Structure 1
Amino acid sequence: MTTIRFLSAEEAVAAIPALSELLRDSIEDNASMGFMAPYDRSEARAFWQGVADGLGDGFTVLAVAANGDDIVGTVQAGFARKPNQPHRGDVMKLIVRRDMRGRGIARLLMERLEAECLKRDRWLMVLDTATGSAAEAIYPRLGWQRVGVVPEYALYPDGGYCGTTFFYKRLGV
């Protein structure tokens, strides 16, 4: 059975090896996650350490999906720090391990993340994802509104260009 939980900074540090493996799996699947192939273990560890460091300030939340002790998915939200955006946040790095996809884990992660964001008075959320990816199809089914596409916005890990589709959602509406 898959459970969703939020990690503290200390728990996130302990989970860096498992989170790095999730990132490796997504890079090997050529998912546009901000990293290039070949997978660089030290780069991944540094990224996740930065996420763990950010958890302590209350402007980042990190959720994981686990089967027992096995982390099979993750998602995070970063909250806007600007004084004129106390209601907004960004969803980042929704990752589900390839062998666990199609089981509703992404939905579970997003539902729990959205509930947590609402508890923190963050009711307007935005995200971006690679245009044409399997991930892009998930968000409209979860009530996210497509805003538009920026072509050639980023690179896939293999170096090819990918467009990026932007979404938003007003939570609790």
Structure 2
Amino acid sequence: MTEICALSATELDACLPELTDLLHACVQAGASISFVLPFSIEDAAAFWSDKVRPGVASGTRVLLVARHGGAITGTVQLDCDTPPNQPHRADVCKLMVHPDARRQGTAKALMVALEADARRLGRNLLTLDTRTGDAAEPLYLGLGYRIVGVIPEYALNTAGDGRHSTTIFYKPLP
């Protein structure tokens, strides 16, 4: 059974090796989550320590992890660091599931938990983007996210030798 929980900054520190391995495996498998190859273990560790931890520590970012059999198999983040005129909104960031743990409902469980945390924090509008045509698109549509549009040639692909489009989604939360 998959268990979903939020990590504090201290818990992130304790889980840093597992989080690093998860991110590294996802990027190596071609996940379009802002990184290009070559992507080292050190790069992955720096992402968690330098980019994610400060927001978790300040309370502007929620880091959810999925555990199966005690091991971290996936993560997603809720970025609540919005401007003063957007206290009702948050961004969904970096949904990732280890390549060996995919197609088991982990991503959906993470997103459902993230939406519950967003509601608890008074956020009733979520936004996200994903590589156009990515396997995550049907997941988001099935969860009620709506497509805003597509931005062509938005980012480099993971190999760094071409560009891909991104699809922008939003979801109002009841």
TM-score (norm 1): 0.96
Aligned to 2:156: 155
* AA aligned opposite 1:64: V
Native 8 Å contact 1:78 1:89 kept in 2: yes
Distance 2:144 2:15 in 1: 30
The range that moved more, 84-93 or 43-52, is 43-52
Distance 1:30 1:81 in 2: 29
Aligned to 2:173: 171
**SS in structure 1 at match of 2:58:** coil
**SS in structure 2 at match of 1:136:** helix
Q: Shift of residue 38 of structure 1? A: 1.6
**SS in structure 2 at match of 1:4:** strand
Native 8 Å contact 2:82 2:90 kept in 1: no
Count of paired positions: 172
Unaligned runs of 5+ in 2: none
**SS in structure 2 at match of 1:152:** strand
Aligned to 1:20: 20
Distance 1:152 1:12 in 2: 34
Distance 2:18 2:137 in 1: 24
1:52 aligns to 2:59 (yes or no): no
Native 8 Å contact 2:61 2:81 kept in 1: no
Native 8 Å contact 1:80 1:88 kept in 2: no
Deviation track 1:32-58 (CA, whole Å, cap 9, x = no partner) reads: 111111222222111101312211211
Deviation track 1:128-160 (CA, whole Å, cap 9, x = no partner) reads: 000011112210001100111001100121012
TM-align CA RMSD:
1.0
**SS in structure 2 at match of 1:147:** strand
Identity across aligned pairs (percent)? 48
Aligned to 1:113: 114
Distance 1:150 1:81 in 2: 22
Q: Shift of residue 8 of structure 1? A: 0.5
**SS in structure 1 at match of 2:49:** helix
Q: Shift of residue 68 of structure 1? A: 3.0
